[in-house]
Chain A
Amino acid sequence: MEVTREALDDFRVRQLKARDMLRGDLEGEELERYVEQSVLTTTLDKAVKWARGNSFFPLTFGLACCAIEMMAIVGARMDIARFGWEAFRASPRQADLIILSGRVSIKMAPVIRRIYDQMLDPKWAISMGACCSSMGVFNNYALVPADKFMPIDVHVPGCPPRPEALMHGVLRLRDKVMGNESAGWRDRYAAYGTEEILGETSGESAAINVYQPGDTAGA
């Protein structure tokens, strides 16, 4: 149902490889690799990702006001069980998604890091709300943005984000896990070419909306 979009040149390369194979021009190692890629591994990989994306076990981790909206998403109106995510686990050992819902104070940050470390791979993190994504309404001494101490996959803006907004974030994460990352608004508005690609700088992005290859481009 999602429109999958792989990068254009990848498609072109595959097209050429397919043409070569049909012509009988691919041989040896190249041929083996082509067969591997297209037949089994891709399918198994995709199946595993599909299973993962549809059966997240979120951690019951409510910090502040966003937690109430997270509870609302569990409620009957915006039902997260539609996507198979209703099994909120209390123990981090059993969970694979941590939804940081609320403001992260400096006293809580090491606790969250410990909990995140206790989760088993593969694990994801959604930073829900403005307070943990950036500093939110309160830009002061007591808060830490979550990006400073743990890797976050999806940031959901809002204060607090409506359950629909969190649902959107949840679906984006699901897309990311299933390998169907879309380029977000750049896709919808065909705005390719507006990304700022910082060559080979370190992972630290200097500006907020910088597209690093292999990254959900800040959408």
Chain B
Amino acid sequence: MAVSDGTTPPQDQLSDYRRREQSITISHEASQGDERHELLTLNIGPHHPATHGVLRLLATLEGEVVRDIMPIIGYVHTGIEKTAEDKSYWKVIPVVERMDYLAYYFNAMAFCGAVETLMGVDVPPRAQYLRVIHLELNRIMSHLVWLGTSALDLGAVSMFWYCFRERETILDLFEMSSGQRMHTRYIQVGGVFEDIPTGFAARLRAFLKEMPVRADQYADLLEKNQIVVERLRGTGIVDQPTLLELGVTGPLLRATGNPWDLRKAQPYSSYDHFDFRIPVGAVGDNYDRFRVRHAEMYESVKIIEQALEGLPEGPFITPDRKIALPPRHELATSMEALIHHFKLVTEGFRVPPGEAYYPLESPRGELGCFVRSDGSAKPARVHMRDPSFHNLQALAPMVRDGYIADLIATLAMLDPILGGIDR
């Protein structure tokens, strides 16, 4: 629909669909100087191969140059936070996991962390290390999916298969430890669901030996590739103060040079026991974002190696029977264990009233979970501060005055996950 001179066509010429969208204001300013250029409003999505989920973008174009962009979300809004108010704390974990569907361990960890803060539960060290192992594996997996789909957007189609091959290895590990590939409910309030089985450590070591080699291969394919460099270098630049205004964290902020990482700044779950570095970029363009995420994969491998070597002995979940289920063999002998089991499964544990906000560093930025409890067995409010929701606001400054092709590349490097945005 061509809009010239900043005026809209008369109402009866608009289609029904377009009339419904009239409430959305689009900038009608002409570009530089006195020349009036025709501004075209193009609707990208919600069904579009390059939008990484159901994101709808209303792009105002002048030729091939993007003058303004307005993201419209809500196409996968699932009311997860409302559903979570209806279920007991134990049952909220699988519901909340499905928000940011590539970082499911992080969602569960944020929620469990908030509940543990409210209850004052101590997580045993073995559980903390196991959580770290799985969280970092999830980080690698999320970056692999990002790399595969982003390279697919840029045209490097074979990267998709290579990255998903690695992802299958990681999902095999997840399946070994929890029985599920995705949305594993492995992280529970007070620890983890189950101890790692025999053979997990060996398989993990084999993966850790292989992963840096594969990451090197991906670097060889993409890092100095002429097409990748020309498309990503110098595009989508936003300076650091703007990003901080917008509330952007994670690899996007680190690409501009700010080494803010909650694993180092406010360590949780024994991250301070591990020695790892934070990759930062220099300029803040798409190429830096790409390199930062790629380098994070190596650092995650280092963390997992250290966690695996130093895995302490001990319980894998808090021994407090009022919070965690007793082990099955106790049910046959101890009456108390049976009663605890019954209470936990039917009603769930009660959390003393209060509010807690638990932030952690997910692959996309600061993921925080706000839990308000009113003393009953169901949470009164669960809210996830999802990083993609806040990062999406940075899209408009990133793509302004760039080409559509840069829009696609920037959207790929932004790594939005619509499940987290819409919740």
Does a CB–CB distance below 8 Å link A and B in the complex? yes
A residues in contact (CB < 8 Å) with B? 60-65, 67-69, 71-72, 74-77, 90, 92, 102-103, 105, 107-108, 111, 115, 131, 137-143, 159-160, 162
- Partner pick for B182 among A62, A68, A92, A138, CB 8 A cutoff: A68
**Contact between chains at A72 and B74 (CB < 8 Å):** no
**Contact between chains at B77 and A142 (CB < 8 Å):** yes
The reply to whether the CB of B209 lies closer than 8 angstroms to some CB of chain A is no
**Which of chain B's residues 120-161 have a Cβ closer than 8 Å to chain A?**
145, 148-149, 160-161
- Partner pick for A160 among B47, B75, B182, CB 8 A cutoff: B182
- Give the chain A neighbours of B193 by CB distance below 8 A: none
**Contact between chains at B101 and A64 (CB < 8 Å):** yes
- In the bound assembly, the distance between CA atoms of A139 and B95 in angstroms comes to 11
**Contact between chains at B182 and A65 (CB < 8 Å):** yes
With known contacts A72-B167, A143-B78, A65–B46 Cβ distance under 8 A:
no
For B164, give the chain A residue with the smallest CB separation. Answer: A75
- In the bound assembly, the distance between CA atoms of A131 and B78 in angstroms comes to 10
User: Which 4 pairs, one residue from A and one from B, show the smallest C-beta to C-beta distance?
Assistant: A75-B164, A142-B79, A65-B101, A90-B49
With known contacts A138-B95, A162-B181, A108–B80 Cβ distance under 8 A:
no
- Give the chain A neighbours of B171 by CB distance below 8 A: 72
- Give the chain B neighbours of A139 by CB distance below 8 A: 83
- In the bound assembly, the distance between CA atoms of A162 and B95 in angstroms comes to 18
B residues in contact (CB < 8 Å) with A? 46-49, 53-54, 74-80, 82-83, 94-95, 98, 101-102, 145, 148-149, 160-161, 164-165, 167-168, 171, 181-183, 418-419, 422
- Give the chain A neighbours of B161 by CB distance below 8 A: 75-76
For B417, give the chain A residue with the smallest CB separation. Answer: A64
- Give the chain B neighbours of A61 by CB distance below 8 A: 47
Tell me how many residue pairs across A and B have CB atoms closer than 8 Å. 100
- Give the chain A neighbours of B53 by CB distance below 8 A: 62-64, 67
- In the bound assembly, the distance between CA atoms of A139 and B91 in angstroms comes to 14
A sample of 23 cross-chain residue pairs with beta-carbon separation below 8 angstroms, ordered by A number, consists of A61-B47, A64-B53, A65-B182, A68-B182, A69-B182, A71-B149, A71-B160, A75-B160, A75-B164, A75-B167, A77-B164, A105-B74, A105-B75, A105-B78, A107-B75, A107-B77, A108-B46, A111-B54, A115-B47, A137-B83, A138-B83, A138-B95, A142-B82
For B84, give the chain A residue with the smallest CB separation. Answer: A138
**Contact between chains at B95 and A141 (CB < 8 Å):** no
With known contacts A77-B165, A90-B49, A142-B77, A68–B82 Cβ distance under 8 A:
no
**Contact between chains at A103 and B165 (CB < 8 Å):** no
- Partner pick for A65 among B95, B148, B160, B183, CB 8 A cutoff: B183
**Contact between chains at B102 and A76 (CB < 8 Å):** no
- In the bound assembly, the distance between CA atoms of A105 and B165 in angstroms comes to 31
A150–chain B nearest beta-carbon distance, Å: 14
**Contact between chains at A63 and B76 (CB < 8 Å):** yes
With known contacts A69-B182, A138-B95, A162-B181, A76–B419 Cβ distance under 8 A:
no
- In the bound assembly, the distance between CA atoms of A127 and B74 in angstroms comes to 21
B91–chain A nearest beta-carbon distance, Å: 10
B146–chain A nearest beta-carbon distance, Å: 11
A163–chain B nearest beta-carbon distance, Å: 9
- In the bound assembly, the distance between CA atoms of A19 and B171 in angstroms comes to 58
- Give the chain A neighbours of B148 by CB distance below 8 A: 71
- In the bound assembly, the distance between CA atoms of A176 and B164 in angstroms comes to 30
**Contact between chains at A64 and B47 (CB < 8 Å):** no
